[in-house]
A and B are shown apart, each in its own frame.
Chain A
Amino acid sequence: GESVGLHLPTLSVQEGDNSIINCAYSNSASDYFIWYKQESGKGPQFIIDIRSNMDKRQGQRVTVLLNKTVKHLSLQIAATQPGDSAVYFCAERGSGSRLTFGEGTQLTVNP
């Protein structure tokens, strides 16, 4: 079946550094991917999305890269700030147009 997973359950970075959060997916037919940020005690917040016909998409301080050859998705956060500390997880849309969510990576930004 479909599965979405994250390579690293935790990531610790220094304030001002760039962060890279990775996500592997198994369904080669998935046509849409999305990243969410979830702060403690809050609901997931949309960050950025990308369709399978794209390799890269940029937002404000964030970039998502999609490598369909190895079924890998990454989220890059530039100049990471303390407010970026949260759990980040990806989701893929596969068969049946359902979103399948990964478990998440805890990003900690050290001042």
Chain B
Amino acid sequence: NAGVTQTPKFQVLKTGQSMTLQCAQDMNHEYMSWYRQDPGMGLRLIHYSVGAGITDQGEVPNGYNVSRSTTEDFPLRLLSAAPSQTSVYFCASSYSSRANEKLFFGSGTQLSVL
């Protein structure tokens, strides 16, 4: 099993550019989520999904869009990148949307916005 796979691992963008961070899981997990990790702030929830076709906002959703067309995939879109979005992004999944337990994380995408 590959678990949670994120691509790309590194990305540099110019202000105003758009891009999509990819996330896929092969564990048939209902729950998927995106976090950003910044120094001194811990992991913060951006968006999450409790199943295909269902998404909701987390703690810091502004500037990001998500969709969940399949159980396996949960891409994160930056429509117009800003320097404040420079961060490390992690995708995570869990077996149960209700329990929100034992999140399995991907290896992360390090994003720099110039």
Contact = CB atoms under 8 A, between A and B. Distances in A.
Interface of A: 4, 32, 34, 36, 41-46, 49, 89, 91, 93, 97-104
A104 B43 CA distance: 10
Contacts of A99: 45, 100, 103
A43 B100 contact: no
Contacts of A45: 105
A43 B42 contact: no
Contacts of B40: 103
Contacts, number: 50
A46 B104 contact: yes
Interface magnitude class on chain B: 20 to 34
A34 B102 contact: yes
B87 interface: no
Interface string B4-36: 100000000000000000000000000000000
Contacts of B107: 41-43
Given A42-B108, A44-B105, A101 B42 contact: yes
B103 A46 contact: yes
Contact of B42 (A41, A46, A89, A97): A89
Contacts of A98: 45, 58-59, 100
A93 B101 contact: yes
Residue of B100, B102, B107 ringed by the most chain A CB atoms within 10 A: B100
Nearest to B41: A103
